[in-house]
Amino acid sequence: MTKTVLRPFGAALAFLLAAAFVLLAPGAARAHGGPIQLTIGPDGIGGVSLYAQYARDGHMVDEIIDPLVTAKADDGRTAGPISLVSSSEGQGRWVSEQPFLGEGRWTVTVRTTTPDVAETTAVFTVAELDEPISAQTTSAVADDDASSALGVGIIGLGAGVLLVGSVVGAIVLRRRTKDRTV
């Protein structure tokens, strides 16, 4: 082939490669949509956490969904429906704003209708939480820590002043000795 034939051939090949890249590259983004897989669990304080993924590609749902939670305890108590809100902790995560499940074993169902209908059910146990540490106990510990930190700070300051004073004294003494010998 001659140079005149190669140039148009190379240009056509480059154009076809660029067109293929433009058309095929967004394939991963187009995979979103379709069925949603929901995963729920307790948040540790009587609330619910929900993770939503697209079933096709496993990516977290980045669209608005409308998850509603209902729950029934083994002893007959019920809770909900409670709307979950989008979590600030990342894409594809929704949480209950407040704890709403008491102590016990719960069968929890989450259902969403937007952008696609999805439902999941899980059974989990909500344990009784320990009593919180009182503010008075916490402040007493903080006061003790502050007092000890203050003592260490004063000792460190004193040691620093003595060190600087010693260095300055040594320099002055050395200069005086040099002045006398000259």
Residue 114 has what pLDDT? 81
What's the N-to-C CA distance of the chain in angstroms? 94
- Segments forming the whole domain that contains residue 105: 30-126
Residue 179 has what pLDDT? 64
- Domain identity same for 52 and 103: yes
| Three-state SS sequence of 44-108 | CCCCEEEEEEECCCCCECCCCCCCEEEEEECCCCEEEEEECEECCCCCCEEECCCCCCCCEEEEE
Residue 76 has what pLDDT? 92
Residue 71 has what pLDDT? 93
- Domain identity same for 72 and 114: yes
Contact 36, 60 (CB under 8 A): no
Which domain-ending residue is among 84, 99, 126? 126
Give the residue ranges of the chain where pLDDT is below 70. 1-33, 129-152, 178-182
In a domain, 10, yes or no: no
- Domain identity same for 113 and 148: no
Residue 65 has what pLDDT? 86
Contact 50, 42 (CB under 8 A): no
In a domain, 24, yes or no: no
In DSSP terms, 79 is beta-bridged to 71
If phi over 0 gives left and psi between -120 and 50 gives alpha, with beta otherwise, what is residue 92? left
Residue 4 is inside which H or E element, if any? helix 3-24
Q: Which residues lie below 8 Å from residue 44, measured CB to CB, with a gap of 6+?
A: none
- 36 vs 125: CA distance, rounded Å: 25
In a domain, 106, yes or no: yes
Contact 47, 130 (CB under 8 A): no
Residue 31 has what pLDDT? 52
> Residue 57: which of 26, 86, 85, 88 has the closest Cα?
26
In a domain, 13, yes or no: no
- Domain identity same for 165 and 89: no
> Residue 118: which of 41, 37, 64 has the closest Cα?
37
- 108 vs 97: CA distance, rounded Å: 16
Residue 162 has what pLDDT? 82
- Domain identity same for 50 and 98: yes
